[in-house]
Amino acid sequence: MSAGDPPPPIPGARLLFSLDAATAYLNHGSFGAVPISVQRAQQRLRDETERNPMAFFAPPGLTDRIVHTRRHVAQFLGADPEGSALVPNTTSGVSLVLQSVRLQPGDEVLLTDHGYGANALATRRQCRRDGATARTVALPVDAGDAEVVSRIRSALRPGRTKLLIVDQLTSPTAKVLPVREVVAAAREHDIPVLVDAAHVPGMLPVEVDRIGADFWVGNLHKWAYAPRGTALLVVAQPWRRRMEPLVVSWEQEAGFPLCVEFHGTVDYTSWLSAPTGLFMLRTLGVDTVRSHNAALAAYGQRVVGAALGLSPTDLPDPGAAEASMRVLPLPPGVATTYPEAHALRQHIAEKLATEVAVNAWGGRGWLRLSAQVYNRAEEYDRFAQHLPELLSGLR
């Protein structure tokens, strides 16, 4: 089958990153890749810190800089800066919300089976502590928006479901879920919703406040070129007074959001460098980057799928034109458990000098490919050429 034409490269984009040229890095979705300009901006901040730590950390200088950064990031995402807080990552934001909701015995938290594994672990831990339960609703990988909303609506238990956690773009299946419609369905029963948007900032166009969720949290260190450890948690007005930090420090009396943001003596340079990442994204052109990455990810999915003998109907559609991650099913019996998926990812990295994501989901192994401005079509072509032989050696 024809894989179609890949998008033309963005001139000079590959030189903006310090990735090892000997490795095809087709897994931007896992940990991102920090541009050189952002690395340097962060290093300048670290140098500033070490020249005079007291001057860097002393109030109000540091807190003013945190507030300025938060406002910049929130504006980019269409969120209210006063209802937003910088946090280290999406998983820490999820744990913060779980703690602040204050579950009671008999309550339940509803998840989908497309959710991020660490968030499911955090949910189960909080439920054990509070005497609540965690329940999962299954969504077919090929379900359309209407079916997704219908299945979630049917799974809600008014009076018992105290929180619904739903991904805007799922990690194991790279599926964009209709979160605005899901939030509206939950609102019919006054059930609060937490949207895990780990992959959204920078990849998908978003106006967070228009989604209407009670809680929304997304990473900027994946697709928005920020250093790792940078995310934004957005909280609706009725919940802000109830938000409590995971660790109490000196800004506790300031209330949300600063009490959540200030952690004492930690490295804040990743947050303060985030605007430099957004500057690079805007300089390249937000729409240009999104269209390039989405087209290249689709090309990679098609060419690798063709090499594995998959038909176009076997390749899941992410459900959004801007999606820069794509998945495809591995042969039956391959990587059907988490340890097997982890081992296969390592095997691919060692034998093919290619970084990809491999997940076990729904009793089957799935290969996830990402695309970023530093990637080239020939990287997916080479991977497609050698992957079938590697997989055949596993049987």
Domain spans, the chain:
13-33+285-392, 38-279
- Which phi and psi (to 5°) does residue 24 adopt? -80, 110
Q: How far is the C-alpha of 12 from the C-alpha of 14, rounded, in Å? A: 6
Q: Name residue 243's amino acid.
A: M
Give the C-alpha distances (Å, rounded to integers) separating 250 from 58, 67, 156, 245, 263. 12, 16, 39, 11, 8
- The pairing of beta strand 161-167 with beta strand 108-112: parallel
Structure confidence at residue 1 (pLDDT): 34
**pLDDT reported for residue 2:** 42
Predicted confidence at residue 394, as pLDDT, reads: 83
Q: How many C-beta atoms surround the C-beta of residue 162 within 10 A?
A: 19
Q: By CB neighbour count within 10 A (0-12 exposed, 13-18 middle, 19+ buried), where does 314 fall?
A: exposed
Exposed/middle/buried for residue 15 (C-beta within 10 Å: 0-12, 13-18, 19+): exposed
Residues 6+ apart with CB under 8 A from 46: 267, 269
- Tell me the Cα Rg of the chain: 21
The residues, ordered by sequence, that sit 6+ positions from 175 with a Cβ below 8 Å of its Cβ are: 114, 141, 169, 316, 318, 319
- Alpha helix (H) residue ranges in 188-235: 208-211
How crowded is residue 203: how many other Cβ atoms within 10 Å of its Cβ? 28
Percent of the chain with pLDDT over 70: 99
Those residues of the chain that have pLDDT short of 50 are 1-2
123: tokens are 């949910």
Beta-ladder partners of 358? 367
Note the CATH number of domain 38-279: 3.40.640.10
13-33+285-392 CATH: 3.90.1150.10
Nearest CA-CA partner of 273 in 223, 232, 222, 221: 221
Spatial distance between the Cα atoms of 306 and 326, rounded to a whole number of angstroms:
14
φ/ψ of 151, rounded to 5, equals -65, -40
pLDDT score, position 59: 86
Output the pLDDT for position 3: 53
Unique residue bearing structure tokens 């910088």: 86
d(CA 289, CA 395): 39
Burial track 338-374 (b if 16+ CB lie within 10 A, e otherwise)? eebbeebbebbeeebbbbbbbbbbbebbbbbbbbbbb
- Find all residues with CB under 8 Å of 233, minimum gap 6, and list them: 84, 85, 86, 87, 93, 96, 97, 215, 216, 217, 257, 260
Q: Are 112 and 285 in contact (CB under 8 A)?
A: no
Beta bridge pairs of residue 326: 369
